[in-house]
Structure 1
Amino acid sequence: MKKYILLVFIAISMVNCSDEVWRGIPTSENAPAPPPVTNVQVTATPGGADITYTLPESDILLYVMAEYSIGNRIISKKSSFYSAHLIIEGFPDTKEYNLKLYSVSRDGMKSDPVNVSVTPLTPPIVSIFNSIVMEPTFGGIKIHFENDSEAEVKLTVLTTDSDGEIYPVDIYYTKRKDGNFSIRGFDAEERTFGLYVLDRWNNYSDTIFVNLEPWFEEQLDKFKFRAMNLPSDTNEAHSSSTYTLDQLWNNVWGTGAAFHTKPNTGIPQWFTFDLGAKARLSRFKFHHRLAGSSGAGSDGQYSAGDPQIMEVYGSNNPNPDGSWDSWTLLGTFESIKPSGLASGWTTEDIQFACYDGEDFEFPDIEPVRYLRFRVTKVWGGVTYIYIGELTFWGEVLETF
């Protein structure tokens, strides 16, 4: 009898549970779609639009989705129900584009579409391309650009080979608002250079071509460089023997190795060395010390003792007492972080500072043999400095 009563009870329970599912919990087959968004407003932006709207009152809304086509690509962009706007990007021109807005439920059911017209402002690839200025510089060309929308783009530089065929010689990745960069390694003879801009949606600008003649320069032989230790110089190395002044010209960079002065030695501080040649200098490359597992820790690029403002002096007959009366200021140079971040750094910052190196050009100066670096400001406000590597170019007139 007890077994019979238990079976009846289970059967009744199963019927009740089944009835509850059928009446109260919707399945994906019979789930309703949420109402569409309303009050759609469109604000054109460079290469896109900012779309705002009023969300529907719906407990099943999960997100709002925009669908649109660029060429043969169909693009979708989503925004959760916590937000009432969508940022649309990737248009290559200023034509009118149509897109559809959908409210989408938790079951993936889409509302009826709301048709929206978008006419973008001038896309970044076009405005950047229109701002390009290309001019000759030492060993190559210098490119100036403006990127007001701080778009993520690639600037591809072209030139011709010995057969006159065009090929890409370098690609510059940037999100900088404005800036310049140089492509070097060319002889002082006229050649064709070109450039186009590419964005992350594979939209291309036109290509600009110019004929330019790079200015002559040659790299100075680092094997001839010699450290000097004049009175008042600060070149005593920090605790490790690998931090000595000759680390500045050992052709090693992109690591934690560096010339590193002792802490609490003061700012400004300076050091002196012999180039082993008398040269009319054109530029120098400053490789920052790399922070990271190589041993630099936080003592790396754009922090601690990394020089931010430097003065470079030249002489052909320096006074052995270390005074300044025999030195001529060749230039004052400021290190610039590409990202402009107040603290920290981006991948682009590290590539620029530690691997590519930061280029500084001298004005038209008289030939010199001896150099004196005076660091007047460091990135981290400490009282020591470190530098990964220094490399110099110019016209060598005499060697010693």
Structure 2
Amino acid sequence: MNSIKYLSMNRHHILVLLLGLFLWSSCKEKNMLLYTDDNAPAPKPVSNVQFIRTPGGSKLYYKVPADNNLLYVKAVYDISQGVTRETKTSIHQDTLVLEGYADTLEHEVKVYTVGKNKKESDPVTLKIRPLTAPVHNLFKTIEMKETFGGASITFQNKDEAALAIVMIYDSTGQGDWAEADTYHSKAPKGAFSVRGFDTIPVKFATYVRDRWNNKSDTLALTLKPLFETKLDRTLMKEVSLPTDENIGHVFSGLSPRNINFMFNNVFGTGSTNDCFHTRPAAAKMPQWFTFDLGQQYNLSRFKFYHRGGSSGYYRGADPKRFEIYGSNSPNADGSWDSWTLLGTFTSFKPSGDAATPTKEDEEFAVTNGEDFDFPPGTPPMRYLRWKTTETWGNSQYIYIAELMFWGAKL
């Protein structure tokens, strides 16, 4: 009984304490509201304003005035005719970042201090001249050429700005332009392709766009896509050789996630467990597996569909670096003597290696599948061996949702 009484008293004291804290907080809040003086003059302006030119903008540095009424500092500027931007920062900062310019002309910027009563200081006016905008820097590096079934683009993005590379094509040959694809990236370099075109000349064009709708010039080329056909996935099957890591992992009450799951045409965001998944218990790296294409082909390219879901793409056991070998008569002992290296590949993440995966990453890797080209002159092969050397999450096992291959049958 004593212990019950003691507990009840403690609860009573806690309730009193919480009520007191609530009342104190309410009073403090009221005092803060009362502190705003509508009759107070506008704060003094910033002083000693300097700037550093940046691609598509500038960084402003200044001294904040000592004023108890000061709430924030803002810059007002036009990035183009009729388009005004406003950038704000707190009184605890001494920097304002201006961005969104598409040219390198001289632009006027006005910097204000703003009081808690919303009164603004007189502006400090300065002239800035941005460096070349990221849309133009990236555009200068674009290389576009024909590839199997379409056209490919490579680029460098030295500013690591979030940009969209838009690919369009003349859909009728009469100047009726249609979008082929839009590729989003802030990575320092990248490549992508548009596919599904016949082997007749097509006029392709590309330009770069940023989030302020600034656009680069347009590069237009007439290209003739190379012939290819999609390989018949129903002919593809596992080849089990000594040293291969090909036994499927069992989890969540499902059947073993073996190699055949890579060739069942099931992939995407809603199929997170429909994948080839090697066993964590048999973890090792590098590891490899072998499969039969069903017949001999001149290979042009392949798509690697990453596993979807929160534990899938660009994390965990998702392959990051891998090699593909080919053979027409593999040694039965699983040795490497009968295998030829066809290519060394690195998976690409549009948002950059360090960033948390984005929706654009998911669309690129899980929904659309990541494209890889075999090098020109790749010899005809029937059997392939995939060797993973590194995963995105440094796991010692792997998972792959789907593999698709293109080429020409001999």
Judge same fold: TM > 0.5, yes or no: yes
Q: Which amino acid aligns with 1:200?
A: R
Please say which of residues 87-96 and 163-172 is displaced more in the overlay: 163-172
Q: Is the 8 A contact 1:289 1:306 kept in 2?
A: yes
TM-score normalised to the size of structure 2?
Answer: 0.85
- Structure 2 equivalent of residue 68 of structure 1: 77
Distance 1:163-1:189 versus aligned 2 partners, 3 A rule: closer
CA contact (8 A) 2:155 2:189 kept: yes
Tell me, yes or no, if structure 1 residue 264 matches structure 2 residue 281: yes
Aligned residue for 2:369? Answer: 357
- SS of 1:131 mapped into structure 2: coil
User: How far 1:67 sits from its partner (Å)?
Assistant: 0.9
What is the CA–CA distance in structure 2 between the aligned matches of 1:343 and 1:234, rounded to whole Å? 30
CA RMSD in angstroms, aligned pairs only:
1.8
Q: CA deviation at 1:150?
A: 1.4
Q: 1:197 aligns with which of 208, 213, 231?
A: 208
Indicate the SS of the match to 2:103.
coil
* Larger deviation, residues 313-322 vs 138-147: 313-322
- Following superposition, the deviation at residue 263 of structure 1 comes to 1.7
1:280 aligns with 2:298: yes
Deviations 1:94-126 (A, max 9, x none): 111111111100010000111111111111111
Does 2:131 correspond to 1:121? Answer: yes
Using the TM superposition, give the Cα deviation of residue 317 of structure 1 relative to its aligned residue in structure 2, in angstroms.
Answer: 1.9
Aligned counterparts of 1:353 and 1:109: Cα–Cα separation in 2: 50
Identity %: 47
Is contact 1:286-1:389 (8 Å) kept?
A: yes
1:252 aligns with 2:266: yes
Cα separation, partners in 2 of 1:395 and 1:80, compared to 1, 3 Å = same
Secondary structure at the aligned position of 1:246 is classed as: helix
Which one of the candidate residues 55, 64, 75 is aligned to 1:46?
A: 55
Match 1:290 to one of 308, 314, 333: 308
Q: Distance in 1 between matches of 2:355 and 2:83?
A: 38
User: 352-361 or 177-186, which moves further after superposition?
Assistant: 352-361
Judging changes above 3 Å, is the alpha-carbon distance between structure 1 residues 176 and 380 closer, same or farther for their aligned structure 2 residues? closer
> 1: CA distance between counterparts of 2:322 and 2:138?
31
SS of structure 2 residue aligned to 1:264:
helix
Unaligned runs of 5+ in 1: 1-23, 293-297
Q: Which amino acid aligns with 1:241?
A: S
Listed as ranges, the matches of 1:335-350 within 5 Å are: 335-342=347-354, 344-350=356-362
Q: State the number of aligned residues.
A: 367
Provide Cα deviations, 1:333-359, integer angstroms capped at 9, x if missing partner: 222333333474333333322222222
SS in 2 for 1:243: coil
After TM superposition, the structure 1 stretch with the greater mean CA deviation from structure 2, 59-68 or 367-376, is 367-376
Which 4+ residue blocks in structure 1 deviate beyond 6 angstroms?
A: none
Q: Which runs of 5+ in 2 are unaligned?
A: 1-33
* Paired residues of 1:242 and 1:258 also in contact (CA < 8 A): no
Query: CA 1:119–1:275 in 2, change beyond 3 Å: closer, same or farther?
Result: same
Which residue of 2 is the match for residue 387 of structure 1?
400
Write out per-residue CA displacement over residues 174-203 of structure 1, whole angstroms, 9 at most, x where no aligned residue. 112221111111112211111111111111
Query: What is the TM-score with the length of structure 1 in the denominator?
Result: 0.87
- Alpha-carbon distance in structure 1 between the residues aligned to 2:185 and 2:355: 18
CA drift of 1:228 comes to 1.8
Q: Choose which of 161, 168, 182 in structure 2 pairs with 1:158.
A: 168
Q: Which residue identity is paired with 2:118? A: G
Kindly indicate whether residue 324 of structure 2 is the aligned counterpart of residue 312 of structure 1.
Answer: yes
SS of residue in 2 equivalent to 1:44: strand
Give the alignment partner of residue 376 of structure 1, picking from 383, 389, 393: 389
- Is the counterpart of residue 101 in structure 1 residue 111 in structure 2? yes
Identify the match of residue 196 of structure 2 among 185, 195, 212: 185
